[in-house]
Chain A
């Protein structure tokens, strides 16, 4: 469980992160999306107590990160795969952390094995690692303390397609077993396959957040009834195909058609509204385009 409330970071007059709030629930993977320089990493560093926020607060498992007695056992963090001592071996980097957390030495071998770094790779110095190997080492590091929460910044960077597929499976599995995952990316397609929820940030502000299916749907209508099963039967009978979303049933039809179908079946509605977001992809493209022009001018 990660809770971010009105998090703000200003460098001088320029806000890098501006009033950002979202929550990550256990059992879900939240994709944190935004172009480079949108404030993703700064937000993640603030969650992890590495950067002091100018305003707002963040908690992990109900407590501010800095107050967690042994954070590595609660939250696995991978903020930058390159931030490892080049002169240490992969195994040594994990051993230091395992010892800090008070873990059994065997965890190191187990996690190296899990991320697919074999004995030869583990004995090599990190200097000789490819970016993909560093990401795997970073992931092993994040998983080392068997945490309940994972915070990963651009973990797919440098992984080959097979590696990305493997990582998705790992994160999906982690969430399905009750874990909370927050992972960032600047590529919509990259998180689309694994995330349940999306939080989109641009220029330091949240521009969209919610259920992935709902955000990615091309508009549509969200509808809810006290008896959702009856509503579903009514919609199907009317030839509308309802899909599940976190906020109710999502229907690719306008509100009038949905309301009529429900009325015909005698189902009382609790909610009927157009789905928010809609053209997320369009929105994201606009954001990315705007940001990259800004960056090239800077």
Chain B
């Protein structure tokens, strides 16, 4: 070792620095990605997402009709359970800073809090895209096995379905992150995220006057066309955008406002 950074006698000396630059958004995003995997809880959440995908393909290999063992049929069903877990990842990425009180360190090192939030959103969006890639790879493996054991093993996949899958998972993880930003408390945000849209869906079914608005605001309904192989119509896109404005953009904006102003202690 030719250079040591700390004096050998255990002393600390304040040094004169050359002007330091602020950390780039790329650097902050990489830090946030690392935070997703450097705890046991985070690692297991990601492993679970991967396992769920694999289990669904294996179940299909065992129980689905040979003719149905196609690439699309392996790929599509895995989107739903992963789509439930990803928002939880989004929620935890934001709220664990407050529940574990690491916000004190994080925001002392990066006082421009909006940059940390953007880095976190980047990190969870990248994870959502990676989950779609995992679904693709696992579906491909399933298709290979299927064609070897007598299933259909058809490879056809519409580009639009792939795009829809990415939209579904990315908006899902952002919705979770938005709830996390708004509520800043893990149990509250998870329950709120899971319960509120469902409650809204139930109300929409029960209360007649709400049925109309519910068509536009219930994300479980508006996002449904993304699963089908039929092309999404203009009106369906419209409903999706409106529901996402309410359940994603609005809480993101309000949550960002709250996070920027909140006292860190």
Contact = CB atoms under 8 A, between A and B. Distances in A.
Interface stretch (B35-43, B57-65, B137-145): B35-43
A88 B27 CA distance: 20
A244 to B, nearest CB: 24
Given A85-B100, A87-B40, A147-B14, A66 B27 contact: no
Nearest to A108: B5
Contacts of A73: 17, 20
Contact of B264 (A50, A66, A110, A148): A50
Contacts of B110: 71, 100
Contact of B39 (A74, A85, A149): A85
B15 interface: yes
Q: How big is chain B's contact interface, by range?
A: 35 or more
Given A84-B102, A87-B41, A143-B12, A110 B22 contact: no
A70 interface: yes
B5 A110 contact: yes
A79 B104 contact: yes
A119 interface: no
Interface string B96-137: 100011111101111110000000000000000000000000
Contacts of A106: 5
Interface string A97-117: 101111010110011011000
Contacts of B206: none
The residue in A83, A141, A177 that gathers the most chain B C-beta atoms within 10 A of its C-beta is A83
B102 A85 contact: yes
A167 B156 CA distance: 67
B208 interface: no
Contact of A173 (B12, B39, B111): B12
A298 to B, nearest CB: 19
A143 B23 CA distance: 18
A71 B6 contact: no
Contact of B27 (A41, A87, A102, A179): A102
Nearest to B15: A146
A45 interface: yes
B235 interface: no
A99 B30 contact: yes
B265 interface: yes
Contact of A69 (B10, B13, B22, B96): B22
Interface string B30-56: 110011001111000000000000000
Given A70-B21, A87-B40, A88-B39, A50 B263 contact: yes
B40 A97 contact: no
B31 A177 contact: no
Given A74-B20, A100-B110, A113-B6, A51 B264 contact: yes
B28 interface: yes
A84 B100 CA distance: 6
Nearest to B6: A110
Given A45-B265, A66-B112, A179-B14, A84 B20 contact: no
Nearest to B13: A177
Contacts of A87: 39-41, 100
10 contacts: A71-B109, A82-B101, A100-B110, A102-B27, A110-B5, A111-B6, A173-B13, A177-B13, A178-B13, A179-B13
Interface of A: 41, 45, 48-52, 65-66, 68-74, 77, 79-80, 82-88, 92-93, 96-97, 99-102, 104, 106-107, 110-111, 113-114, 141, 143, 146-149, 170, 173-174, 177-180
Enumerate the 3 nearest inter-chain pairs by beta-carbon distance, A residue then B residue, closest first: A87-B39, A179-B14, A83-B101
Given A83-B104, A102-B20, A110-B4, 4 more contacts: A114-B6, A114-B12, A146-B5, A148-B14
